[in-house]
Chains A and B, each alone.
Chain A
Amino acid sequence: TQLLEQSPQFLSIQEGENLTVYCNSSSVFSSLQWYRQEPGEGPVLLVTVVTGGEVKKLKRLTFQFGDARKDSSLHITAAQPGDTGLYLCAGRGNTNAGKSTFGDGTTLTVKP
């Protein structure tokens, strides 16, 4: 069974601060996705990383995939209240019938 540990579980910060969310595993993933979900809605894909060591940027969000493809991080610069939401990482393995393994989620609250 592939496990994906996501931390922190809850994060409350002031507008303008930076933050990093981590996802770690002992398993290798063929790809890893980051999602953002708002209450009452389905998760929305932010990024997919595939190559070990890959870094992707999406405006103020920076995503990194570990060299060994076992871990990933999401860094938000100068957080804004609109960044508030539940952030989920999901790793997809080469086996396991194509299913994704989800982290426990990080609930981010950015206070104005």
Chain B
Amino acid sequence: GAVVSQHPSRVICKSGTSVKIECRSLDFQATTMFWYRQFPKQSLMLMATSNEGSKATYEQGVEKDKFLINHASLTLSTLTVTSAHPEDSSFYICSAFGDRGRRDSETQYFGPGTRLLVL
């Protein structure tokens, strides 16, 4: 079964609104989670590393004020797309490595993704 969940799975919003996406590790603790963006038929592009209890680390070219990340607990990270515009429309995926407890620490478990469409 799934070990990482994302909510919502699909969201349609108007330009200028903010959208929050949740990522949860279901049966393990994740001190670090990763947020990716993916365009059709392309690979994953890492946006940022979410760190529990501290600031996220953003990849070069990713606007931290545009994509707000909060890792409030060991099982939850959120990505908020602020003032969304049509060019932000994409497939957003989160992931976490296992924690050497119930899950393999070398394996990266992915959420099912969130399809964002900004009109």
Contacts and interface: CB of A to CB of B under 8 A. Distances in A.
* Bound pair (A, B): yes
Interface residues of A, number: 26
Contacts of A48: 104, 106-107
A63 interface: no
A102 B106 contact: no
A44 B109 CA distance: 8
Contacts, number: 56
B93 A43 contact: yes
Main secondary structure of the interface of B (DSSP, over half): strand
B108 A100 contact: yes
Contacts of A33: 107-108
A53 to B, nearest CB: 17
Interface string B66-87: 0000000000000000000000
A4 B43 CA distance: 12
Interface of A: 6, 30-31, 33, 35, 40-45, 48, 50, 86, 88, 90, 92, 97-100, 102-105, 107
